[in-house]
Chains A and B, each alone.
Chain A
């Protein structure tokens, strides 16, 4: 499969991928992570030192103040490992109706993160946590040994603060990526099953489950190549292309800021090095939000967001 195949597929369907109204700011604070998950499209891990500098954090907060974002989404790596994370959370919380922090759950259990759950609660931060499966074997095959126990224990602690508990207003959503070279389970059925199993077996709760295909990038792509799964996986993604997913794709409404301050249309284009507008634009220089209709650069990884019910 070549990179232009996604463009060809769009053309065959008479479609174009272009930006709509920008409503979400996603901030990737860096590639440092306590885990080295085997599906990570960014190849984040304990050995990575790329992290957002303090002046970039301030530039991001200033940008959020200049514009109006319906949601701001902090991701990584593990955001908890960024020393300026409390500043980022406090600086952004009043600038958006919805501030989301993504967590791998294990990074929240480090002693240095001890005050973060209460900080999140006090600022009404919504948490999106990674949990690929309702069993230890699949979870740890993707995320590493010991992750299951640590993750479920942290969800229990978050539940204790009100996160994921009905009526508390504190949102705890889970994200499940498949633990191999196959497509994700349908979201509604998977959510029902996660809710039943996690409540019954582990007495933990959450608000929503999102199931997303793994993007064939970074460490996951390297594994696909090594294991001889790449061609079949790409063919599977392409074969499940669903043109109805296009209007809701996140790259149409999201602006993704990398740890170095440069902007992209989504976190996958960030990983693939495909800049927004095909040129380097720094968040500090952003004087207006992208115009609707601006073309979005694409690659074969885009099939991961258009397969089945899509990645929005």
Chain B
């Protein structure tokens, strides 16, 4: 079945530079530098990327960073905990807006 998201398309990411090579070059250089070993290890950065990939629900990123996490030495226990961090922040972001709801409701209620 055809879908908008074909896993094979991920390998064609570089094609995005075809009509704006200078911008793509800047992006990919920056991207590479971001994920290089720094104050955070490559493994830690891959776990953050995996968590963010789920927050933005990007199938390409989930595919790429699941593999990257495993290849950097993370295990499913750690990767699942990272997703719960995503979930806690996403869920918490909804729930914390309940403060607004309560403020508004309390203001207009007897």
Q: Which residues of A contact B (CB under 8 A)?
A: 133-135, 137-138, 178, 180, 182-186, 189-190, 193
Contact = CB atoms under 8 A, between A and B. Distances in A.
Contact of A185 (B43, B67, B76, B77): B43
Interface SS of chain A: helix, strand, loop or mixed? loop
B41 interface: yes
A133 B41 CA distance: 18
Contacts, number: 32
A138 B75 contact: yes
Interface centre among B42, B43, B67, B71 (most CB of A within 10 A): B71
B71 A135 contact: no
Interface in B55-71: 67, 70-71
Contacts of B67: 182
B77 A186 contact: no
Contact of A178 (B41, B70, B77): B70
B73 interface: yes
Contact of B43 (A133, A180, A182, A189): A189
9 closest A-B pairs by CB? A185-B73, A182-B70, A190-B73, A183-B71, A182-B71, A138-B75, A135-B75, A185-B72, A182-B67
A52 to B, nearest CB: 35
Interface residues of B, number: 11
Contacts of B72: 185-186, 189
A184 B71 CA distance: 5
Contact of A137 (B70, B73, B77): B77
A132 B58 CA distance: 30
Nearest to B41: A189
Interface in B68-98: 70-73, 75-77
A62 to B, nearest CB: 43
Contacts of A193: 43, 73
Given A135-B77, A189-B43, 18 more contacts: A134-B75, A137-B76, A137-B77, A138-B76, A180-B70, A182-B67, A182-B70, A183-B71, A184-B71, A185-B71, A185-B72, A186-B72, A186-B73, A189-B41, A189-B42, A190-B73, A193-B43, A193-B73
B46 to A, nearest CB: 10
Contacts of A180: 70
B7 to A, nearest CB: 9
A185 B71 CA distance: 5
Contact of B75 (A137, A184, A186, A189): A137
Interface centre among B75, B76, B77 (most CB of A within 10 A): B75
Nearest to A134: B75
A231 B75 CA distance: 23
Contacts of A183: 71
A308 to B, nearest CB: 9
Contacts of B75: 133-135, 137-138
Contacts of A134: 75
A242 to B, nearest CB: 15
A189 B72 CA distance: 8
Nearest to B66: A182
A134 B43 CA distance: 15
Nearest to B68: A182
